[in-house]
């Protein structure tokens, strides 16, 4: 992503307010056009059936990704009294002033071994005193500062494993993947390397082919751990080439680092059960379909759940006819051997970069007097898919619907795509010239002309040489921030962005000229394909989105019925310009958490704030100031009888926001 909501544009907007009169009121009214008011009530069921959320020992609170805590000291009645309890700086702002401009602060801490443990964007692992924020130990793997990672320097979290058979050194260990493709094991009590793991406490991941540059392949999300197995995915640069690195998921022995198995979502060789969905003349040459988002684990069933991405390249699939399963899918693997148990595809033959971007949620939904184990998957398309955890069949109905056809030469599109029946998209999927947004006649007209000149037939309109608006944009809908689940209400809470990309294909031999003309936009070669790609946000000349607000929402969905219970605008222009904050919503990166106290906590917007909402109806109850946007998912824990809410506030370099390096903890006054 490039610049969003350029400051000067919002200054113009505020400056024009006195002169726009009724028209401004109309536009601001549009900021509430997606809002839905409703109430999610608690379900009368045995307490034993909602026994989750005791500790925050994993990235998503537990290995199933509930992001729910049973703590209830902070409530809707007292949340306005929250204050900063402690504030810790990693020192990155001063120590890495150049690198931090190419970073994304997305880390969520875990609480293990009486320490709050988290990773910085540069893969330093830090342990803090949970009550004071004072540093206990620090580990620096000294990642390569010259690698130029395609996805910024990122570390979303670490994972913890404890040996039930041993109490010696490294019997409690932290596992982390790095930006330079290593898997590390360090002692959770001291921060020392676990010498018995791999070589000197690390295993180097082989991408399987020569990289175009060191940062083409990295690991950004926490490993999944089940028993004595640790499993890692990878993040790989998009749109560079067809024959790109494979998106293999790799499993290792958590004690020794010895390889156990690997799974490539793209079928190679004969006998693969989904080979028929890749209908090229030979083995697929494409790479990716990788797993860059967090995975989930069902210990009892012995399953690990993968959110896979699109094959390479993102916007042309003529060399990979067919649906391309297991790409763009939720894939359940046997933890012991990596074999596929079931797979559900959310997008067939993806040419829109609509990865499955978030941790699959392993929840238990109360329906018709019984508990049903499900997998709930939020997506970039704005859909929520709810699947039976045992079989992968839809728990809430899904149907195949016809979608636009007629792509560029050589592109065999899928005639249909899967659409959830019970839950409509949480954000719009269509933009017409009449929808063009602008605060003046001039910029509204320019947005209208952009849409009129493009092929815009709603979601799944194929990329074209004419130009195609993609709504939601390739950042979602939902992204890695994912969702949280309140088991006492059957309520899924998710935040989503509402923006459009404009994607245009061009003949491959015009790459040089396109880069010269559009030097300030993303122009990618897609080497090996007959078309290159140009992508930029659909923005007005004033730097505001061409799609109408709100540009960010948060919603609650009942997973029994699929009904959208409530949906609210999230984000204002407060920290993007002088003057009052206008409630237009902002794109969001980072996700929500829920507490038994009846609250949702979330940062995610482009403002320097963390918010609390009432989980029952989505009413905003509190805001806490941060030094920079909190584009990380918060967490909560109890220490010495006091509940804390913590968020990593570092900003986001690609959004051109203020940058910081601080972890902020809030609590009620003593």
Query: Could you give the CA distance from residue 428 to residue 531 in angstroms, rounded to a whole number?
Result: 28
Query: Which CATH number does the domain housing residue 249 bear?
Result: 2.140.10.10
Angle at 58 between CA 55 and CA 62, to 5 degrees: 65
Q: What residues have CB less than 8 Å from 279, skipping those under 6 apart?
A: 321, 322
Query: Could you give the CA distance from residue 388 to residue 362 in angstroms, rounded to a whole number?
Result: 10
Mean pLDDT for 26-34 is 51
Residues in the chain: 670
What per-residue confidence (pLDDT) applies to 8? 41
- Decide if pLDDT at 1 tops 70: no
Angle at 476 between CA 474 and CA 478, to 5 degrees: 150
Q: Which residue has the tokens 């990166």?
A: 589
Percent pLDDT > 70 in the chain is 94
Listed residue (521, 317, 511) closest to 408, CA to CA: 317
Mean pLDDT for 311-317 is 96
Confidence of residue 45 (pLDDT cuts 50, 70, 90): low
Angle at 109 between CA 107 and CA 111, to 5 degrees: 170
Confidence (pTM): 0.95
1: in domain: no
pLDDT digits (tens, 9 = 90+) for 345-396: 999 999 999 999 999 999 999 998 899 999 999 999 999 999 999 999 999 9
SS3 (DSSP) at 12:
helix
What per-residue confidence (pLDDT) applies to 5? 46
Specify whether 353 is catalytic.
yes
Confidence of residue 46 (pLDDT cuts 50, 70, 90): low
As given in the structure block, the two tokens for residue 103 are: 């970073």
87: in domain: yes
What per-residue confidence (pLDDT) applies to 654? 81
Q: Which domain holds residue 64?
A: 7-667
Of the residues 62, 264, 277, 353, only one is catalytic, namely 353
Listed residue (158, 148, 116, 118) closest to 134, CA to CA: 116
Q: What residues have CB less than 8 Å from 402, skipping those under 6 apart?
A: 415, 416
Using an 8 Å Cβ cutoff, are 360 and 376 in contact? yes
* Residue 506, Cβ density class (10 Å: 0-12 exposed, 13-18 middle, ≥19 buried): middle
400: in domain: yes
What per-residue confidence (pLDDT) applies to 20? 35
9 versus 305: the higher-pLDDT residue is 305
pLDDT digits (tens, 9 = 90+) for 103-145: 999 999 999 999 999 999 999 999 999 999 999 999 999 998 8
2: in domain: no
Query: Could you give the CA distance from residue 331 to residue 304 in angstroms, rounded to a whole number?
Result: 8
Lowest mean pLDDT among 42-51, 125-134, 149-158: 42-51
What per-residue confidence (pLDDT) applies to 52? 76
Query: Could you give the CA distance from residue 201 to residue 183 in angstroms, rounded to a whole number?
Result: 8
Mean pLDDT for 616-624 is 98
Using an 8 Å Cβ cutoff, are 331 and 340 in contact? yes
Beta-ladder partners of 263: 249
pLDDT digits (tens, 9 = 90+) for 447-472: 999 999 999 999 999 999 999 999 99
As given in the structure block, the two tokens for residue 643 are: 């509940």
CA-to-CA dists, residue 262 to 202, 248, 274, 337, 563, angstroms = 18, 6, 17, 9, 38
pLDDT digits (tens, 9 = 90+) for 552-568: 999 999 999 999 999 99
Give a three-class secondary structure readout of 515-550.
HHHCCCCEEECCECCCEEEEEEECECCCCCECCCCC
pLDDT digits (tens, 9 = 90+) for 185-217: 999 999 999 999 999 999 999 999 999 999 999
Confidence of residue 653 (pLDDT cuts 50, 70, 90): confident
As given in the structure block, the two tokens for residue 531 are: 């078309």
Listed residue (665, 669, 552, 555) closest to 610, CA to CA: 665
Domain count, the chain: 1
Confidence of residue 31 (pLDDT cuts 50, 70, 90): very low
Query: Could you give the CA distance from residue 490 to residue 558 in angstroms, rounded to a whole number?
Result: 6
Query: Could you give the CA distance from residue 289 to residue 325 in angstroms, rounded to a whole number?
Result: 9
């Amino acid at each position: 992503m490039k610049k969003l909501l350029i400051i000067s544009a919002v200054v113009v907007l505020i400056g024009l307010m006195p002169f726009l009169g009724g028209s401004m009121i109309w536009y601001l009214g549009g900021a509430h056009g997606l809002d839905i008011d409703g109430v999610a009530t608690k379900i009368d069921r045995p307490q034993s059936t909602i026994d989750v959320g005791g500790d925050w020992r994993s990235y998503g609170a537990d290995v199933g990704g509930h992001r729910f805590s049973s703590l209830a000291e902070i409530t809707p009645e007292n949340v306005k009294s929250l204050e900063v309890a402690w504030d810790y700086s990693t020192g990155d702002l001063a120590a890495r002033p150049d690198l931090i401009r190419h970073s994304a602060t997305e880390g969520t801490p875990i609480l293990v071994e009486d320490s709050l443990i988290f990773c910085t964007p540069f893969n330093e692992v830090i342990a803090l005193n949970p009550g004071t924020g004072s540093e206990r130990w620090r580990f620096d793997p000294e990642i390569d500062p010259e690698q130029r990672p395609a996805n910024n320097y990122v570390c979303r979290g670490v994972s913890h494993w404890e040996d039930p058979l041993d109490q010696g050194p490294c019997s409690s260990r932290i596992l982390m993947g790095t930006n330079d493709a290593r898997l590390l094991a360090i002692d959770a009590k001291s921060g020392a390397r676990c010498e018995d793991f791999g070589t000197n406490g690390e295993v180097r991941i082989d991408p399987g082919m020569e990289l175009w540059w060191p940062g083409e392949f990295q690991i950004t999300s926490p490993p999944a751990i089940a028993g004595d197995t640790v499993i890692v995915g990878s993040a790989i640069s998009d749109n560079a080439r067809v024959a790109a690195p494979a998106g293999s998921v790799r499993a290792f022995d958590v004690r020794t680092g010895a390889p156990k198995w690997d799974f490539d979502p793209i079928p190679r060789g004969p006998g693969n059960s989904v080979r028929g969905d890749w209908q090229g003349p030979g083995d697929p040459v494409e790479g990716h379909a990788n797993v860059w988002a967090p995975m989930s684990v069902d210990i009892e069933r012995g399953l690990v759940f993968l959110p896979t991405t699109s094959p390479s390249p993102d916007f042309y699939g003529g060399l990979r006819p067919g649906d391309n399963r297991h790409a763009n899918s939720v894939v359940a693997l046997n933890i012991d051997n990596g074999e596929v148990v079931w797979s559900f595809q959310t997008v067939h033959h993806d040419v829109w970069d609509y990865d499955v971007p978030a941790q699959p949620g392993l929840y238990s939904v109360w329906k018709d007097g019984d508990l049903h184990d499900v997998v709930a998957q939020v997506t970039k398309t704005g859909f929520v898919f709810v699947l039976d955890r045992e079989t992968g069949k839809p728990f809430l109905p899904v149907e195949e619907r016809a979608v636009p056809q007629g792509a560029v030469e050589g592109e065999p599109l899928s005639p249909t795509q899967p659409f959830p029946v019970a839950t409509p998209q949480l954000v719009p999927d269509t933009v017409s010239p009449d929808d063009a947004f602008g605060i003046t006649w001039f910029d509204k007209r320019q947005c209208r002309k952009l849409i009129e000149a493009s092929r815009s037939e709603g979601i799944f309109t194929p990329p074209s040489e004419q130009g195609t608006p993609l709504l939601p944009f390739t950042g979602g809908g939902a992204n890695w921030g994912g969702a949280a689940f309140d088991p006492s209400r059957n309520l899924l809470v998710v935040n989503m962005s509402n923006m459009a990309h404009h994607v245009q294909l061009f003949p491959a031999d015009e790459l040089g000229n396109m880069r010269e003309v559009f030097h300030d936009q993303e122009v990618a070669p897609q080497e090996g394909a007959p078309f290159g790609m140009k992508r930029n946000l659909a923005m007005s000349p004033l730097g505001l989105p061409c799609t109408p607000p709100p540009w960010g929402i948060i919603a609650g969905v009942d997973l029994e019925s699929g009904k959208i219970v409530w949906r609210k605008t999230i984000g204002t222009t407060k920290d993007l310009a002088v003057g009052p904050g206008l409630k237009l919503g902002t794109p969001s990166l980072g996700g929500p958490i829920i507490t038994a106290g009846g609250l949702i906590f979330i940062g995610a917007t482009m403002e320097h704030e963390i918010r609390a909402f009432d989980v029952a109806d989505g009413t905003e109850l509190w805001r806490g100031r941060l030094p920079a946007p909190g584009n990380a998912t918060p967490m909560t824990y109890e220490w010495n009888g006091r509940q804390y809410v913590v968020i990593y506030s570092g900003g986001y370099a690609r959004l051109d926001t203020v940058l910081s390096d601080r972890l902020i903890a809030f609590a009620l006054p003593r």
